[in-house]
Structure 1
């Protein structure tokens, strides 16, 4: 029912998790083992089985990622990873960790760091032409040239830009137009520019037919002063 893989994207090793669909009683049993009481209350409030499965997969992936960094972490259900605000959005990490998670269908991706970091996973494989202007500028589309709707680079670029948004703890996808792709780097590195994150790196690729991405930023000392 559950498989866990630690991916390699540049210097990062995010946790990828697959949670296959199953009976509701098995999902409830897993939630009781993984979720803290406040998380369980929020999880139960979603109602729809699909939403519950995705939300649970994201929290489980994030807690596994944290355990890799904090081996003495207690039982998973003793840790709460709740939204910073409201019912969704960026997660409040423990003990100074920034935690980022994403879920799409049966898949979830998560990573944590002591500096700004974001991840995304995108199972959509086709982008209609009318969607492209939403997340790619005219300059970016000119650089990319004519791409078929199912070109794998499109979901990777979307995932990279969403990962950057999560790095800056954005709550709105509308800000995706503020992030600019400037070229393909070596290996899985992808060159992107964001005025709000001057020390930004991003990496993306394809895993099990899905686009995965991680972005991080190291804030300069003078920027913090």
Structure 2
């Protein structure tokens, strides 16, 4: 439960006035409750006991969102199978998508003019598995950089390794098309509940 930041004696009129300030005058808005509360996560057992599957299932079904830590270790998944070395052994010439986008705060998404937007703007390029293994920065451009009217720093990161190739990979996976990052103010204005948190390596989000 989130911590309430208003007295329990607050009237409905006062409460509505605070809510109205979020839209009309965000600078004066004071949180009604803690909006940075952590997402529901399973309590860690001090003895390291394993959680019964039915309890994990019920926890996930009864939560709007659930953060599960340590699942890969519990299932004894061999994460080395997803390493660059494994990819290099399976398909040394396999294409790995590289994206270049403007550096911005982790809780915001803006276009090249600095305006809030839902669409994630990035330029697509690629390298193969061997290039990554060798630490090569040479990239094959799929499209040129768009000219920017705002001096923003560019960052590059590897993204999808498409496992749907039926020749190299037997099990096909379908990826959602397009990248989207909703604007938080628009979601709040539409009364859409939002959970914001940082997903660390190894965390599973239900």
Q: TM-score, normalising length from structure 2?
A: 0.23
Select the structure with the greater relative contact order (CA < 8 A; seq sep ≥ 6): 2
Query: Which has more helix, going by share of residues?
Result: 1
Query: Which has more strand, going by share of residues?
Result: 1
The structure with more radius of gyration:
2
